[in-house]
Amino acid sequence: MVKKPRLLLLDEPTASLDNQSKIYVKEKMLELKSQGTTMIGIFHDIEFMETVIDKTFTMAKGTISESGVA
């Protein structure tokens, strides 16, 4: 990335990636996180998600609720 973003919106960042690419994405996400970047993501890969998140939110029937803190 040319500039460090303050916010990243991620829509299934690991969809269709092989394991090596997932590791690379995870490393970059954790690096950006350590630099203060806020990330909001939609994940279907729950195992991956649990390694990079601080909080989870659930959306059901148009309502968003906090599910927990990782």
pLDDT at res. 2: 76
* Residue 1: inside a domain: no
Average of per-residue pLDDT across 31-59: 93
* Residue 12: inside a domain: yes
* Residue 2: inside a domain: no
* Residue 36: inside a domain: yes
- Distance CA(3)–CA(59), nearest Å, equals 31
pLDDT at res. 70: 64
Residues forming beta bridges with residue 9, ordered by sequence position: 40
Residue 5: pLDDT over 80: yes
* Residue 53: inside a domain: yes
**How many domains does the chain divide into?**
1
Report the predicted TM-score, pTM, of the whole model to 2 decimal places: 0.82
How is residue 17 annotated by DSSP? -
CATH number at residue 49: 3.40.50.300
pLDDT at res. 43: 92
Q: Provide the residue range defining the domain that includes 57.
A: 7-69
**Is residue 59 very low, low, confident or very high in pLDDT (cuts 50, 70, 90)?**
confident
